[in-house]
């Protein structure tokens, strides 16, 4: 089949005057770029829908991102509100239904510009935790923005540790109301988005008390501001927490509650309800309260984390194809910095990581969809595995992607430090994901608890979930690779990642057990092993990513060109991890010194192979210039022209001479008589 270049297909091809250094990179891709775009989108039809949405966004001046880097926090917030409501109105006019692909692509393209992001979590929490009656009452109001909601779980003194939340909800049988309080300074809700200046309602998580007894954390839907004048309701103190590294468009807030009464029917009661006589009736497991957090984690990995890494790779690789620096060969013109092996070793593993996380996030979505369907039917047995997977994948995706974006930024030299490159904003936005929706170390240890339990079950011969099936292995032996090419066999490196994860978990489990047998309290023993447990959890999740990337390749074995380039990327991702963690793979002699040298050689050999397709591989992501909002990463490669044009728009170039007149003129005038 004749290969088609992206310029023949992509809407970006309408651009004229593309930088020749970038244009030549697109001339002869080794694979069908459009086909790989379709694969990432989930089919050609979805690609067409996405492009329709993105073209509309790019052509609508009401959604312009021009001059965004020069706006204040207040301006970004107001723009976020305006754009969100405008977008909702236009989507309704065009018949783009709630939950449909058009709305999803709007969210993907504009999420960093919009308000009401946590409002969507508010809606999902009602859908996931509310009864049919509660859903019917509240969700239509929220979807039409007749009310604005937030998800108030995190407190000033507590985040991921949900059982430690201090907010209380005490049931008053006489009035059939819950009385909500934040009894201490640390109990106030802190960080929820859309709370600071916008929300009228909130799903508040609080410890339920019935007749003086605690029944654990439960969700309560309550009004916090007047719908008439937006003033806080009696007993409610609410406000904005102030400036942050990023998210200027989001009003993260605080919430203090003092004897605020909420009707009994406002406790979200799909899985737990309080009867009129004050009795608590539960269905299912307490772990269901984690479901909303899992929903958010799954969505954020796909729509935020992976997308941002893809954008950073697009910007840095396109820039590296047009930036020339020094002579590679004496006497030759200055070389593209992408031709230097050191630049390739910085950027191409990040590109491979972006593809790896795309495929593992699709796997996580499949696991989630099945588990979510089961919970609707009252079956909760898959929740522990789902929670462990979602927690672990959230950690590796956010940690590796945030560090990857920073690698991309630094790889662009001084220009990468400019906000106009788009890279600093991507980094400061993404790095927040290492702590929100679950602090990463805490999540690793939650994954570790699941692994330790499964390790014990496997040791006793009990069945264990499929994601940890390798824990039933008796002996991994030594690596069977004899030449460097063997390390390009997925079976070889999957076995290596399995062995690493198994050994690290086994070592942590043995240490934990030995401490307990010596009489150390379980909680003290766990704390003493927590570093090794976190390492083991990360090794397990790293194995999951490698395995799922390799499994994804099997779906495209009949498409030789697509399979070949994805195989190169999978190999690079796996070998990059082995290269960076050599000690882990050598620790018990699984890899020899000679085999480590083979890994390194195979790893470096892949760089020039993938470099030839580097620009087409980021073109596959198919970001519009509006979406990238980068002077360095635009499709036409006109980096220097765009930097200069954008810089001239800075308000600092049009300010009055007050500073000069007040501070500088008295000094400068002293030079008049001397020069």
Residue positions in the annotated binding site for FAD? 154, 193
DSSP per residue, 205-229: EEEEEETTEEEEEEEEEEE-B-TTT
CA distance 634 to 649: 18
Owner of token pair 């195989």:
567
For 308, the enclosing helix (H) or strand (E) is: helix 306-322
CA within 13 Å, CB half, 636? 13
Helices then strands (H, E): number in the chain?
23, 13
Burial of 330 from C-beta contacts in 10 A (0-12 / 13-18 / 19+): exposed
Bridge partners for 152 per DSSP? 204
CA dihedral 540, 546, 548, 550 (to 10 degrees): -150
H-helix or E-strand spanning residue 189: strand 189-190
The CA distance from 20 to 637, in Å, is 8
Residue 52: phi and psi, rounded to 5, are -60, -45
| Cα 36 from Cα 402, distance rounded (Å) | 25
Give the DSSP letter of residue 232: B
Residue 631 sits at the vertex; the CA angle it makes with 4 and 638, to the nearest 5 degrees, is 55
Token pair for residue 104? Answer: 């999803």
Would you give the distance in Å from CA 168 to the centre of its chain? 31
Quote the CA–CA distance of 616 and 7 in Å, as a whole number. Answer: 10
Spatial contact of 310 and 431, defined as CB atoms under 8 Å apart: no
Backbone dihedral angles phi then psi of residue 463, each to the nearest 5 degrees: -65, 145
- Binding-site positions read 154, 193
Contact indicator for 35, 10 with CB cutoff of 8 Å: no
CB neighbourhood size of 656 (10 A):
7
Structural Rg of the chain based on CA atoms: 27
Q: Is 327 a catalytic residue?
A: no
CA distances from 341 to 214, 331, 403, 614 (A): 61, 19, 20, 13
Between vectors from CA 637 to CA 631 and to CA 638, what angle results, nearest 5°? 65
Distances (CA, A) of 307 to 397, 434, 459, 548, 662: 11, 15, 40, 19, 47
Nearest CA to 360 out of 576, 545, 554 is that of: 545
Task: Check 34, 248, 385, 437 and give the catalytic one.
Answer: 437
Q: Which residues are catalytic?
A: 437
């Amino acid at each position: 089949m004749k290969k088609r270049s992206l310029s023949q297909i992509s809407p970006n091809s309408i651009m004229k005057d593309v930088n020749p250094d970038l244009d030549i990179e697109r001339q002869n891709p080794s694979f069908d770029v459009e086909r790989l775009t379709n694969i990432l989108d989930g089919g050609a039809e979805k690609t067409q829908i996405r492009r329709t949405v993105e073209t509309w966004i790019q052509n609508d001046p009401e959604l312009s991102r021009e001059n965004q880097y020069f706006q204040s926090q207040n301006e970004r917030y107001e723009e976020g509100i305006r754009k969100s409501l405008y977008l909702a109105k236009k989507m309704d006019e065009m018949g783009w239904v709630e939950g449909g692909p058009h709305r999803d692509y709007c969210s993907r393209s504009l999420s960093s510009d919009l308000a009401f992001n946590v409002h969507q979590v508010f809606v999902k929490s009602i859908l996931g935790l509310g009864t049919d009656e509660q859903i019917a009452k509240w969700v239509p109001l929220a979807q039409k923005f007749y009310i604005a909601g937030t998800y108030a779980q995190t407190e000033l003194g507590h985040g991921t540790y949900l059982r430690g939340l201090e907010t209380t909800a005490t049931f008053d049988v006489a009035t059939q109301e819950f009385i909500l309080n934040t009894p201490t300074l640390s109990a106030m809700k802190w960080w929820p988005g859309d709370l600071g200046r916008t929300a009228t309602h909130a799903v508040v998580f609080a410890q339920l008390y019935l007749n003086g007894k605690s029944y654990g954390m439960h969700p309560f839907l309550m009004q916090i501001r007047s719908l008439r004048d937006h003033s806080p309701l009696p007993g409610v103190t609410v406000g904005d927490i102030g400036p942050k590294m990023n998210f200027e468009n989001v009003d993260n807030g605080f919430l203090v509650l003092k004897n605020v009464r909420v009707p009994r029917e406002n406790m979200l009661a799909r899985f737990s309800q309080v009867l009129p006589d004050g009795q608590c009736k539960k269905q299912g497991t307490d772990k269901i309260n984690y479901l909303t957090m899992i929903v958010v984690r799954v969505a954020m990995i796909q729509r935020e984390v992976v997308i941002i890494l893809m954008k950073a790779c697009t910007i840095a690789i396109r820039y590296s194809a047009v930036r020339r620096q020094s002579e590679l060969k004496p006497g030759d013109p200055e070389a593209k910095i992408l031709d230097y092996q050191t630049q390739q070793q910085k950027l191409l593993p990040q590109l491979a990581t972006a593809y790896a996380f795309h495929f593992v996030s699709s796997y996580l979505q499949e696991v989630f969809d099945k588990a979510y369907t089961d919970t609707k039917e009252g079956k909760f047995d898959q929740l522990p595995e789902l929670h462990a997977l979602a927690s672990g994948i959230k950690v590796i995706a956010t940690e590796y992607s945030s560090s990857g974006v920073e690698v991309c930024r630094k790889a662009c030299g001084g220009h990468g430090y400019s906000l106009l490159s788009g890279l600093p904003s991507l980094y400061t936005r993404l790095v927040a994901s290492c702590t929100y929706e679950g602090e990463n170390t805490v999540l690793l240890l939650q994954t570790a608890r699941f692994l330790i339990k499964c390790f014990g079950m496997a040791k006793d011969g009990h069945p264990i979930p499929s994601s940890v099936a390798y824990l039933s292995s008796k002996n991994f032996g030594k690596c069977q690779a004899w030449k460097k090419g063997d390390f390009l066999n997925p079976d070889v490196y999957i076995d290596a990642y399995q062995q690493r994860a198994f050994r690290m978990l086994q070592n942590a489990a043995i240490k934990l057990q030995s401490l307990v047998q010596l009489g150390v309290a379980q909680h003290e023993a766990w704390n003493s092993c927590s570093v090794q447990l976190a390492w083991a959890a990360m090794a397990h999740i790293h194995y999951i990513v490698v395995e799922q990337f390799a499994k994804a390749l099997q779906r495209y074995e009949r498409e030789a060109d697509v399979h070949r380039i994805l195989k190169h990327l999978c190999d690079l991702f796996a070998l990059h991890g082995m290269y960076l963690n050599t000690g882990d793979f050598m620790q018990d002699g699984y890899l020899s010194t000679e085999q480590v040298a083979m890994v390194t050689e195979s790893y470096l050999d892949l760089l020039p192979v993938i470099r030839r397709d580097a620009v087409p591989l980021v073109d596959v992501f198919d970001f519009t210039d509006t979406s990238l909002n980068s002077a360095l990463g635009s499709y036409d490669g006109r980096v220097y022209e765009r930097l200069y044009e954008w810089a001239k728009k800075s308000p600092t170039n049009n300010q009055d001479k007050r500073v000069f007149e007040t501070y500088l003129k008295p000094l400068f005038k002293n030079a008049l008589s001397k020069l």
